[in-house]
Amino acid sequence: MHLGRSGWFWEGSVREFASRRTRRHTARPLTQHRPLSLRSIETSEISVARVVFADTGFFVALFDPNDNARAQAVDLMRHLRADDNVVLLSTRDVLNEILAHFSRSRPRTRQLIGRFVLEMLSDSKYRIVSIASEQYLAALRLYIARPDKRYSMVDCISMTVMRDEDIHEVLATDRDFTQEGFVNVLE
């Protein structure tokens, strides 16, 4: 993976990128849904993975050449991809926000982002979770309880998932998470 002339995080086809990434990681089918305890993901060597939550802004910074956090996000992603003991956790709501952000981009960009999201769903380096009704209600209560903040509902969902899974580190480009006591690895 490298930053090419096109300004994207990687060059080449998505299939080539996926084959490079999945040599070290086993892919799971897109249709597989199973409950996970994300606090400690065990591998065949019985090691415990460090789980870091990845927010929308981090992924936008990877693909938007005009984003102020781009260089830092690309560099950090290279390190995270190389570390087999790190798993990036995110939610389907964050994925939807990424897709919405790039929805008015050029067709090539839309396709690239769509393929990247598809790969995230099948790459064991990522854990993408859907929230339950109780988590949605807890996130909505957080949204209502913070009228002085500019938290989006997706941010509130993310914070709720992080608390439920006892995750303290986040990759984010705004201060919302640090205001709630989380450690922003991107800062």
Displacement of CA 144 from its chain's centroid (Å)? 25
Per domain, the residue ranges of the chain are 14-28+40-184
Q: What is the pLDDT of residues 89-133, one digit of tens each?
A: 999 999 999 999 999 999 999 999 999 999 999 999 999 999 999
Its sign, for the CA torsion 79, 85, 89, 95, is positive
For the chain, what is the total number of helices (H) and then of strands (E)?
8, 5
CATH architecture of 14-28+40-184: 3-Layer(aba) Sandwich (3.40)
What is the pLDDT, as a whole number, of residue 47? 62
> Does pLDDT of 22 surpass 60?
no
Q: What is the pLDDT of residues 49-96, one digit of tens each?
A: 899 999 999 999 999 999 999 999 999 999 999 999 999 999 999 999
Q: What's the angle, vertex CA 172, arms to CA 170 and CA 175, rounded to 5?
A: 100
pLDDT on residue 17: 39
